[in-house]
Structure formats: structure tokens, C-alpha cells
Chains A and B, each alone.
Chain A
Amino acid sequence: VPDDLLLGLKFIFGPSAVPALDLVDQRSVTRVTSPNGRTAYQVLGSSGKLYTCYSSCHFCTCPAFGFTVLQKSESLLCKHILAVYLSQAMGACQELTVSEEQLTSILLAEEEDEG
């Protein structure tokens, strides 16, 4: 990966770039597939928490996404979403196949308390 590309990432995505690359380095992104062909992405965040990113639209369950992207429109995405795209582009995604029920529960489990 040439330096220019990295700097370009930094330019466009700002503060999300380095953390996203770090997540890629650590192979934190998993593509979760179900037999019917549905997918979702799970990213292991730095605090150990697992965040879910949707593949069909721009969404992540992390608080930064809700705040910086949705509420304030200050960023295009959070570091987890960027890590998903980068991992995809570099082929660094881990793959996991789960049952339909399991995938449903992953996609629906958004009501967890953030404490």
C-alpha cells in the first residue's frame, strides 16, 4: 500500500483513518453470512465491544456513529465502517457463517444498554 493512499485516507476520513487501519491490522472485521445470503459485519472495537455494521446501508451500532455521523453530520462514517470497507478492499475480513436465527439476533440486537 503506497504512502499516498494512506495519506489520502487520512485527508478524507480524518480522525477515523488511523483507528480504522488499526482495526484492519488487527483483523477485527468479520463478515457474518447466513445460508440465505444475508450478511452483516461485526467489528471488535478497541474496548472489546463488538459492533455491528450493516452491509446494505451506512450504519454502525457504535456511539460515535450515532453522535458524529447521524446527529452532527460531521463525519461520513465511524472508524468501524471505514474498517469494514478497508478490510473488504484488502481481503482482510474474517469469515463466519451462522444460522438464520443467529444473524437475525445480531441484526436486531440494537437495544443493548450502553450503561
Chain B
Amino acid sequence: LCRGGLAERLCRLQNRERSAISFWRHQCISDAKIPSDKSGVLIVKILEMFEECTIQVAICQQLEQSAAMLSSEDAVVNAGEPILKVLFARETAAHLKSRPQDVIHIYPPWQKLLLKNADVPVIMNTYFSQKVLLSEHSETTEKTYGLTKMLIRKNITSLAQTFRLDDLNDDLCQESSDNQVACAPQIHNNCDSKEQSAVNDSLLEMVESQGAVGWREVQVRVVIQRVYCLPAREGYRSHIQGNKPLRATPIINSDPPNARLCLLVQDAYGMFSEVQLQSPSSADDMEQYCSRWEGKFCCLAGMKILQRTTRGRALGLFSLIDSLWPPVVPVKVPGQSQDSEMITTNLTPPSFCYILTAQSGEIHVEVDEQEQISNLYQPPAVHALKDILQIDGCNERCSFWARVLYLRLQTKHNVPINQREIWLFVTDSTLQNVVHMTPKVVAVSVAASCVLGTEITEALSVASQLVFFKDALWGNGRIICVERTVLLLQKPLLYSAAGADLSELTGPVRLDELDSTTQANSVCAVRGTVVGVNESTAFSWPACDRCGNGKLELCPQDRGLLYCNQCSEVVVSPVLKMQLEIFLSCPSRSQSIVKVKVWHKISFGLFVLINMLLSLQSYEVQSVLGKEVGLLNCYVHSVTSHPNCVALEEIVLL
């Protein structure tokens, strides 16, 4: 809303008015006496009533005296008293439950509108109205007027006629306001009992009819298609941890309370909606909610519309919706009666979606966990990685089951740790067992917007895991995990495996060997002969033998000793870590200079080499050159063409 605009003003006024109304209503209930101060109070007696476009119109007679002085049999219209047309909002009307002959007290602030061509003034903003019940009257009226009552509805007149806008063509036939159309009996008893809520099955109908204010007693029954976590809008708390080095702590820091649990629901008409639950839940619960809730029916109540979003604005959401389209069972057609035909063919994918949230912090989502899975539910379709790599489209949601071999944080400047992208290198049996054209290992980048639970981040840092990637995005030759992608350690209970080979990996994992097609940010295996050593990059440093912390400090008490912050103890026998860059000549990519950063602890074979070079300070380069380096698993930092160079770093697979 524009700041300082009329809409913002009205919002504020409306909020104030609403609290005033609820306060007043509360007062009415608790304080049944008619207040003695009568200034500004309008006293009217209803003569007849009808409804027009959700507003109840009551033709009334204005009374001068207080209602108590009228006798109940006085039904004669006093000719001298002025006639008023009093309008009641739907909510007020339901609250009043008034009928002809009722006497209503309308407290200020109300407004009077004098229309140019009409004699009868219109009274509006009648929120603060109270029905005066005369004791002898009440019982008889209850018996006379049943619950079902004929409410006369009038046809709508064109506002163009009323406002006399330009180009009004008098020859056009307009409906006259004398037309009265009696419609079917209406039951207007929403306020009768809070338990008696009508359960509807159309999201659109509820949204369109109740407006953005929220749905009060009405419930909508929907099917939960997906459960996922969205990152909180406020951004993440940065976790720059002072002195603690990255290497010793779990590489990924997830921040559990910053996620919102969300549901993607679908109603019986096939329409989708995203429901964002307010309570801060952690991503850890997500796995649980997924297995308990997906596929089940649930009732939504007391929802507020956060946004109506369209395909162009929410590509991520709609890629997920598209993956669930068309519906697997026939859906109802809006606008038809109850026994409507269902249609299943030629359905166009939705172009808009409402995002709902619970009003005032309460969750009104009741999931029927005991009930069976709905037929409308579409479980994730699991595919083999080999098939996913061959998908033609862009921004397609895909689900797969893969083993994580290696994990890498993509470091970028000025980005807090929590918002860094994580790259997972994964494989499955379909990639490992294939010889030509498909890579053996695929990189999956996990964006910061994909919320990960602590359980999975810890598990990933420690050992190789089998992970179920639900609703990842495939496009432009890459698999990415973004908002609405869920990573799970357990296979879901329900999934459709369209011919996917979900067998376990047999034998050790193999990486593609370095060749001319190798690209940056991938992993590969390398073998070759040492042709050079980059002495300027060689250095060594002590590390803690307990935890591997490479950033030791000098002990404050005894400057000769080393102290480890992580273990909070003195390091008695530090381990010497070394790093060195060597140049290899690789037959598989003979045109390039291959530069490999190697670490001491990992490749023992090179340790001797390095030791000679560094600690002894004297060496014969010739004795180092020509050494064969076996298959090293490496991460490719960069591939440049001028000069033709590949920079690698030796890694350890999980």
C-alpha cells in the first residue's frame, strides 16, 4: 500500500473501527442494561427487510421515545414518524438476527446519507447496533419465525445510471429498482454456534466470498500434497564464529528456528494453495511432518490471505505445482451443483495461487492423520539420475535417491556462512554402471533457500549418506535444491518409482577420470607423473592431534606450547600438516598443465617427497620429478584455456 495514501488511511481506520466494534459487542454481552446516555442514539423499528448484495436493508421507522415505553402490540405505523432505510453489514445482521417489528438501537458513530433523488435517508456504518428485546415479545417471535425465512433479494441497478457517467445511452434497458426477485430460502445463522461450521471443499469460493479479512467459522477441506520448510523472511542469523576455524566444526550451520513449515494443498476442484504456518518450527520436524501429513486430508479454518501470486511471479512455486499437474483423479467443475460432472481432460495448468497464513498466530489446520491417503495425492516420482540428466525441459521438479560422496561449501565474499551455497556430489547405481557419455558423479547445488534440518547437515558432514532429494529443480544441465526442495535421510513411505533402478551401489565408487571434458566445480580422479613442484606455495603448520584443528595458538602461560581452542587444551604432540602444489602430466588430458594441491595427511606417498623438500631444505629436484602419482580423487577448482591449465585439490570422499 502507498504510504500516506487513502488505502493506508482506511486500513488504519478500519482496524480501529474493528477493535471498537468487538469491544462494544463484548460490552453488550456482559452489560445487558441499556445505557442511560441517549445522545446520538438512533432508535428505529423495522418495518420490512430484504437483502441486497450481502447488505441487509431494513426499512424502518424512527422512534422518538425509548423502546421501553412502547407496548408490544403497537404495530401501527405512525404516519408522522420519519422513515429511514437502515443498512446493516452482513456480520451485524447475523449478530442482530432482527425481524420486522424489532426495535433496534443504533449507537454512534453511524452515518446518514442523503441521496439526490431519493426521499428516504440512508443510515450506514451501523456496526454498533443492539436489538431491544421486550420480554413479552421474544417467545412469541421465536415461534412465529422459523429458521428458514424468505429474504427478498433485489436486482442490482447499474451504477452508471445512478452516477450519470458519460456516454450513458438512455436507450439501453436498465433494470428498474422495482424488480423484486424472491430467491430460495436462505439460512443466515453463521453466528449461531461456533461449532456448527460448514465444511466447504472449494478454496476459491471461500477466498472470493470472504475477502481478505479472513475466514471465520468456515472450514475448507483440502488434500496436503507437499510439506516443506521455507526460510524465514527476515533472513538468517549469521554464524561467523570468531576464532573457531571452519575445518573442525560441521561445515554447514543450520539454524533451526528460522524456518516456517508450509503445506501445498489442493482442493476438490484442483486448485492449489500454499499455507504458511506461523509457529516457528524447526526443519528437523519436517521429516516427521512429511511422513505423517503428506497425502492426508486436512481442514483449514481462520486463514488469512497473504498474497495472490501468479505464475510469472513465483516460478519456484509453480514449477512444483506443474509437477503435480494434471490431477490424477477427476476434479470438480466450479459453478455446478453438487452432483457436478468431474472433468479430467484438457485441464489447463493453474495460473494463480493463493498464499494463506493463519490469522493472529493461531494455527487452524487439522490434519486427519488417521484417515487414508487421498486419491488426489501425487507422491513424488522417483527417477534414476541417468534419466534426470536426460530430461529435456527447464525448471522441472524431480525427485531421486542418491549417495552423497563429497560436500563442498562454495565460499563467496561478504556472504554469511548460513547463506553459502553447498555443493553435494552424488551418484547412484545408474550413473556408476554406465560407461559412455554420462558422468559418474553429478553435482547438486543446495541453495541457502533450501532449508536443511540439523540432523541431515550433521549426517552429511560426517559420512557418506543416502539422501532422498524431493522436488529438486533440473534445468540448464544442473540439479539445484532451492525453496520447496526437501532433503530426507529416509525414503518416503509413498513414492512412485517410474522404472528407476534404486538398487544399492555395489563396489567402490568410481569418479570420472580427468579429461578434456572436465569442468570446474566437479570431482574427478587423476593420475600422472610429477613434472614440477611449486615451492612458493608450500607451507606446513601444526594441527591438534585430537580434533584436527589447524589454527592453534600459543599458550598464554607458556609461550613454548600450543593451545587448541576447540578442545580447550594444550596440544602436546601436534601433527604437522603440509600443503604443496605439484604439476602433473596426465595422459588423459595431455594438453593441459595440471596443478594439484596435495595434503600431507592424505597422500602418504607424497609425504616423503614433501618432507624432503621442506624440512631438509636440500633436495634434488630430479629425484622428485618423474614420480608416478596414482589415482587421486580431486575437486576441480578451475579450468582455464589460456593458459591451458586445470587447478585441482586433492579431496577425501566421505
Contact = CB atoms under 8 A, between A and B. Distances in A.
A105 interface: no
A6 B99 CA distance: 29
Interface of A is mostly: helix
Contact of A15 (B160, B169, B212): B212
A2 to B, nearest CB: 10
A85 B10 contact: no
A48 B498 CA distance: 40
A57 B158 contact: yes
Interface in A56-73: 56-58, 64, 67-69, 71-73
B211 A57 contact: no
A114 B310 CA distance: 11
Interface string B135-166: 00000000000000000010010111001011
A22 interface: yes
A73 B9 contact: no
A1 interface: yes
A75 B52 CA distance: 9
B111 A72 contact: no
A78 to B, nearest CB: 10
B1 A12 contact: no
Interface string A56-100: 111000001001110111111100010001001000000000000
A107 interface: no
Contacts, number: 129
A14 B6 CA distance: 15
A58 B167 contact: no
A35 to B, nearest CB: 14
Contact of B87 (A11, A25, A26): A11
A26 B2 contact: yes
A32 interface: no
B111 A7 contact: yes
B55 interface: yes
Interface string B3-23: 001111111011001000000
Contact of A67 (B125, B208, B212): B208
Contacts of A75: 53-54
A25 B159 CA distance: 22
B560 interface: no
Interface in B167-219: 167-169, 172, 204, 208-213
Contacts of B313: 47
B10 A17 contact: yes
A74 B6 CA distance: 25
B5 A25 contact: yes
Nearest to B348: A115
Interface residues of B, number: 52
B293 to A, nearest CB: 29
Interface residues of A, number: 47
Contacts of A72: 208-209
A56 B160 contact: yes
A21 B54 CA distance: 21
B32 interface: no
Nearest to A84: B165
A59 to B, nearest CB: 9
A25 B311 CA distance: 26
Contacts of A1: 6
Given A18-B14, A73-B156, A74-B209, A25 B7 contact: yes
Contacts of B361: none
Contacts of A11: 87, 89, 111, 124-125
A6 B54 contact: no
B504 to A, nearest CB: 44
A76 B156 contact: yes
Given A7-B13, A58-B160, A85-B159, A38 B89 contact: no
A37 B125 CA distance: 39
Contact of B7 (A4, A14, A21, A76): A21
A3 B16 CA distance: 12
Q: Which 10 A-B pairs have the closest CB atoms?
A: A15-B211, A115-B351, A25-B5, A22-B7, A21-B7, A25-B2, A21-B6, A6-B10, A58-B158, A11-B125
Interface of B: 1-2, 5-11, 13-14, 17, 53-55, 87, 89, 109, 111, 113, 124-125, 153, 156, 158-160, 163, 165-169, 172, 204, 208-213, 308, 310-313, 335, 348-352
Interface of A: 1, 3-4, 6-12, 14-15, 17-19, 21-22, 24-26, 37-39, 46-48, 55-58, 64, 67-69, 71-77, 81, 85, 88, 113-115
